[in-house]
Every structure is written in structure tokens, then in C-alpha cells.
Structure 1
Amino acid sequence: MIIDIFGAGSLGLLFYSKLALTEEEIRLNLWTRTEEQASLIREQGVQFYPSANSVSLMDSLTIPAKGSVKPVSDIRQTDQNQKADIILVTVKQTHLTTDFVRQVGKRASERTAIICFQNGIRMDNLWRDQWQVYAGITTEGAKKPSAHAVVHSGYGETVIGRLVQGHSTADRGDESKGAENGQSDAILLLLNLWTKAGLNASLSNNIEMAIYRKLMINAVINPLTALWRIPNGELLQSPERISVMKRLYEEAIQVYDKADIEWSESLWNDILQVCRATASNTSSMLADVQQGRRTEIEWINGSIVEIGQRHQIAAPGHEWVCALIEAMTTKEAD
């Protein structure tokens, strides 16, 4: 089996490391953004820390490069027999462009399963209709202390589900639904590999509910941690902060109800639990703000605003956090 991973950030390096450690007969190809990172991994491998505690203990494993490690710019058209069986797309929404999808497409055939791990409402209509496109939602914790190191900072679960014709729904008014049948053999083999790697992974016949659950959690937690420059757990340190969180939550629930988007009564408690479980974590949005990079706010809170506009319901709180976060970006990522 050939597995290509596009994106050598924390999640991409985590999946690469865990799959390499299975010692199964697979070929792993890692596609990075820069030649510098690819060269570093080819020469020194990936330093994998199996837990947050292992960092202070300097307890890491060196995983030699397995398969090809190259920048995306080096992709060439390859023989059909060498196309990937599985493609994991772990880049952020800000990098998921038409040109990027075209590059990924050089590694795909009609039988290739493409799994997208982006936050927020996806741009899956960029993918060709004949491709097998899946959405992936994960709560695995990963940190990248350097260009060739990754820390498995917290165990979670990964859920994937088929998106019909490669298109994500923008709300429940769409006809597109997660496929209930016909999962590819490659997907089933990947789930087996993830299990052998010690990762909790499963298929879902209602992936859209998982997408909108993750969207809500990100829309409440991420922008506030970025605005207040605090780790996730400190959101719960005062009644005033919790009150602001609750306002964003209730506003989004009104949008969900108007758009007929399915949600669970436990969702507010889920948000609080995520804050507790990831108390020391720096959200990805805060990390982007600290580095002056463009954030994913457009696809997270901006998605809630857009859905509300289509259904004639305002989401002023989410509009404000979008404006505030966007105004904090001072430069683009290199």
C-alpha cells in the first residue's frame, strides 16, 4: 500500500511517525512545503516523542525517512501503478488552494481515497467529482517543537466519513450526505493500520454531524484564546470569560437550528470538557496569531456567519471575532 501525507506540520508528522512505527509493508511518502524541511527529515529522520512527558525526559525515537520525502513543488506526473492508495491532507485551510489540489491530484487515481483533515467548513468542492474524498476529524494532540520533531501530546480519536462527489455540505439544506456504503478496501486497511499504530480510528455514516460539532468547538475556543493570548484551560478561569464563550455558543446554535444542522444537547458540555482536557494547549489560531500568520478564522467563525446570512439570521458575535482576528494578522507565512 502506498500512503502519501501532504503537510509536515504537527498532525502530518504524527501520522507519518505512527504509521512508520507499525513496520507494516507500506510505502510512506511525505510532501512538505519547503525543501529545507524535506532535506532535514531525509538526513536526520523524524524525532518522535510518544508523550508530553517524554519531552522533559529527552525520551524520543528517531524514525528514518521511509519512502520519499520531498517538497510539494517536486511532484511530477508518475506512472499510474505508482499512484497513492491513500492520501492524507493535513495542511491548514489557508493552504488548500486550487493549485495545491492540482499538485495533490498528480498522486491520485480514481481509486485513491483522499482524506481531508482541515478545520471549519471545508472547500471540498475543489476536488474532482470522480475522486473518493473523505472528511477526517481528529482529537489527537500533536505539537511540533522543530521542523523534524513531533510530540504526541494527547490521545484522542479520529473519525472519517465519505463525502459524496467530493463536496462538503454548507448546511443541511444541501443534498450531499455522507456515504453509508461502499467504503474502499484502502480505507479499511488504513483503519487497521491506525489500530496497529495505537490510534483510535473509526468510520462514520454521519460525518457531517462530527464536522459541525468540531466547527462549534473551534468557533468558541480558538478565537477567544487568540484574542486573550491564553491557553485553552484559562478560558474557564472566570465567569466573564465563560459568559463570552456561552454567547458565541448560543448564537451559533441559533444559526444551526435555522439551517437545520443537527447538533447534540451535550455540545456545550463537550466544549467545556475540551477546555479541561487541553488545558495547557496553545490553540492553532493563537499559534498563528503569535507568528503573524493568516488564521483559519474565515473557515471557522466565518462559516457560521455565512450560513446565518443564507438563512437570514445574524451572528454579530462571530462577525466581530472574525474582524478582530483578521486585524491581528500582520504578515503572511513565509
Structure 2
Amino acid sequence: MRIYIIGAGAVGLLMASFLSEANYPVTVVTRREEHAEEIRKHGITRYNIDGQQQKFNVTSMTEQQIHIEEEAMVIVATKYDALQSLFPTLAAIRNVPLLFMQNGLLHYEQALALKHQDIAFGSAQFGAEKAGETTVYHRGIGVLKLAIGRGNDAIINIFEAASKEEFFIEWQEDAEQMLLEKALLNCFVNPLTALLQVRNGQLIHNEHAYHLLQQLYKELMQAFPQMQQKFPFQSVYNLCQRTANNISSMLADRQAGRKSEIETIVGAIIKKAQKMGADVPTLSVLYYLLLAIEESGEKM
């Protein structure tokens, strides 16, 4: 079965490398022909956590050229904003399983509105950093959580064959709950690192950043008390420690002057808290500060 990965960012390239390593034929789908040509010419280079370099030969095409075989699977690894323009293309591809790898919550119901029989959702807990058009660094070992939104085990079989210590797959029962948990984790790390312009580890090593992290945790657990057992503060601390050298996706977006995923992550959590009658003032301040920075076009 051929696997098509739409999106050649850090997550898309890292997943492509591990699935290619598991002997699946992989096609990376890009926006630009120049990018597709670079991948066809050079393949994907992955730098592992131990510093080892590996190269994987994959094919590539643009979104305009996409033609999906029946015996295939499609992984959508674009950001939420780019996903919106892809829905007409995805709607035209009927008989293949779809896996959505977006952060946040806003894409969940939109994806399930498609007519596909098999739809799954993913939550990447590993660290990935893109360096150039064809190179990706594996920055931190973490599980890839997957959950079926609709359908059977067609997607499960593929990923169970690819699962290993460095690319460990963990199946979840409830896709929406999984996405909520990941959005909360992102709310602890992404806004603070983007505003303070620091790597994840500084949230626990910088006294003042650590105070903000504790305040944010207290506030979100008051808003979502059902999550407190799932997310003791130590798990947030361990995440920052484990990914200490990582640049969060929101910080990477700020550095590059790109629009971030603040709406689908932070904005969605604020709205969910408000529906439950909870106030999240610290997170709201971070949200509006980041929106103001984006509107100003300020870079690092």
C-alpha cells in the first residue's frame, strides 16, 4: 500500500522517513513544484537523536498533481489553515483511509463531515525540526497517538507494522478527547515559548517563566478539573524537561513570520472553557498578545 503524505513540514517529513524505513512506498505531496523536485532528487535526510544521519528515497508531487491509487492511504500533515483549501481535493478522493495530523480542535468535526469510510486522527508527541527542504531532525522521542474517528482497523494495521521505540504508536479510544488533551499540552508550552522566545526547557529553568507556567497550569486545571488526574503538574514539567532543546511550533512560526495555529489551539481551548462557565484570564492575555504580535508582523 502506498502512503501519501500531504504536507512537507517537520511532522510530514519525519513521518515519511519512518514509514519509508518500514518499507512502505511513500509519496510526499508539496505545494510547490520546486520543493517536490528537491525531494525527488535528494530524498529525505533524517538526523536521529543520537546524531546518526539516514537518507530515505521517496517520490513527490504537488497538490495540483495529486492522483491517489485505490490501494493507498493519505496522511494530511498540513497546518490547520492550509487544510481548509485541501478539503475539496480530499472530498474527491473517496476510497482511501485518511489520517489527520493537525494540532488543536477545530478540524475534528470538519474532517468527519467528509464521506470517507475510514478517518483517523493523530497527535504527535515527538520532537521534529525541519532544516531545509529535505532535511528533518528528530529532536525528542515521544509517542504518536492515534485514534479512529470513523471506520475500521485499516489504518491501525499500517502503523502497527511501523511502530518501534523511536517511532512508538499508541492507540487511543476517543479521538476528540485525545485532541483535547494535546491542545491542553500545547497551551502549557506553545504560547509561553512563543512570547518569551525561548526553547521549551527555559519554562522550567527560568524562575519567572516557571512561575507563569505554574499559574497557567493552575488556571487550566480549574477550568478542566476532569483533566487533573490525566495531567498532574509533574507530567507538564517532564514534557518541558524531555523536550528542553525543542523549539515549539508556535515559536518557530513567530521566528519565520508565519501565521501560527493559535486559533485552533489556544482560541479553541478558551472557547471550550467559556462554554463550561470557566474563566482563563492568563491564557486569554497570552492569546491576545500573540494575536497582536502576528498582526504587527513582528519577528524574532
* TM over 0.5, shorter chain: yes
Per the alignment, do residues 229 and 317 of structure 1 end up closer, same or farther by CA in structure 2, a change over 3 Å counting? same
1:31 corresponds in structure 2 to 29
List structure 1 segments (4+ residues) > 6 angstroms apart after TM superposition.
none
Quote how far apart the aligned CAs of 1:265 are.
Answer: 5.0
Q: Kindly provide the amino acid, as one letter, of the partner of residue 197 in structure 2.
A: R
Matches within 5 A, 1:250-289: 250-257=218-225, 262-264=227-229, 266-289=231-254
RMSD: 2.2
Q: What letter is aligned with 2:182?
A: K
Structure-1 separation of matches of 2:152 and 2:172: 11
Shift of 1:289: 0.6
Give 2:171's aligned amino acid: L
Q: 1:1-12, aligned counterparts within 5 Å?
A: 1-12=1-12
What amino acid does structure 2 have at the position aligned with 1:224?
L
Measured against aligned partners, the alpha-carbon deviations of 1:192-217 in whole angstroms (never above 9, x if no partner) come to 33226952113211344432222121
Contact 1:217–1:271 (CA<8 Å) still a contact in 2? yes
Q: Which residue of 2 aligns with 1:183?
A: 152
* Structure 1 counterpart of 2:62, from 52, 67, 71: 71
Alignment of 1:303-314 (within 5 A): 303-314=268-279
Describe how 1:37-116 pairs up with structure 2 within 5 A: 37-51=35-49, 53-54=50-51, 59-66=52-59, 69-75=60-66, 82-83=69-70, 85-97=72-84, 99-109=85-95, 112-116=96-100
Indicate which of 69, 94, 115 corresponds to 1:130.
115
2:179 aligns with 211
Residues 282-305 of structure 1 deviation map (CA, whole Å, 9 limit, x = unaligned) = 111011011111111111121121
Partners of 1:201 and 1:74 lie apart in 2 by 31
1:130 Cα deviation from its structure 2 partner: 3.0
Mapped to 1, the partners of 2:251 and 2:142 lie a distance apart of 21
Give the deviation of 1:95 after TM superposition: 1.5
What TM-score comes out, normalization by structure 2 length? Answer: 0.90
CA apart distance, 1:255: 2.3
Aligned to 1:17: 17
Q: What is the Cα deviation at residue 148 of structure 1? A: 0.6
**1:306 Cα deviation (Å)?**
0.6
- With over 3 angstroms needed to count, the CA separation of the structure-2 counterparts of 1:263 and 1:162, relative to structure 1, is farther
> Take 2:192 and 2:165, find their aligned partners in 1: how far apart are those partners?
34
Query: Relative to 1, partners in 2 of residues 1:143 and 1:14: Cα closer, same or farther, differing over 3 Å?
Result: same
Deviations 1:259-286 (A, max 9, x none): xx54525432111101000111111101
Give the whole-Å Cα distance in 1 for the aligned partners of 2:209 and 2:21: 42
* Cα distance change, pair 282–311 in 1 and its aligned pair in 2 (3 A): same
Cα separation, 2, equivalents of 1:18 and 1:129 = 28
Cα distance in 2 for partners of 1:268, 1:118 equals 25
**Residues of 1 paired with 2:165 and 2:277: CA distance?**
46
2:43 and 2:166 map into 1 onto residues whose CA distance is: 21
SS at match of 1:217: helix
Q: Report how many aligned residue pairs link the two structures.
A: 295
Name the structure 2 match of 1:179. Answer: none
Ranges in structure 2 where 5+ consecutive residues have no aligned partner: none
Residue 284 of structure 2 is aligned with which of 319, 326, 332?
319
User: What is the Cα deviation at residue 331 of structure 1?
Assistant: 4.7
